[in-house]
Amino acid sequence: MGTQFKTVGAGSLVALAITLLLIGLYLKEETKENGRLEQGIEGVEQSKEIKMILDSRAAEENAVMDQLP
């Protein structure tokens, strides 16, 4: 009993290559999108921190202004 090998046609290899290329492009785009989302989340967090700082400064200024005659 000899081992039989089936040959794969060139068309099948091309189809496989195209499929892998498309999967790679999709994953690359998803990675970019995730990076954008993370940057957006970081930006929102920084904005919240800045708002808290500005609010505290405004409260301090209001307290000083209230003490003026």
pTM of the model: 0.49
Kindly list the domain boundaries of the chain, sorted by start residue. 29-68
**b or e along 4-16 (b: 16 or more beta carbons within 10 Å of the residue's beta carbon)?**
eeeeeeeeeeeee
pLDDT digits 0-9 by tens, 5-52: 667 788 888 889 999 999 999 999 998 888 888 888 898 999 999 999
Task: State the pLDDT at residue 1.
Answer: 53
Task: Please give the helix or strand (H or E) that residue 47 lies within, else none.
Answer: helix 10-67
Pick left, alpha or beta for residue 15 (phi over 0 → left; psi -120 to 50 → alpha; otherwise beta): alpha
Whole-angstrom distance, CA of residue 40 vs CA of residue 12: 42
**Residues 22, 50: Cα–Cα separation, whole Å:** 42
- What pLDDT score was predicted for residue 3? 67
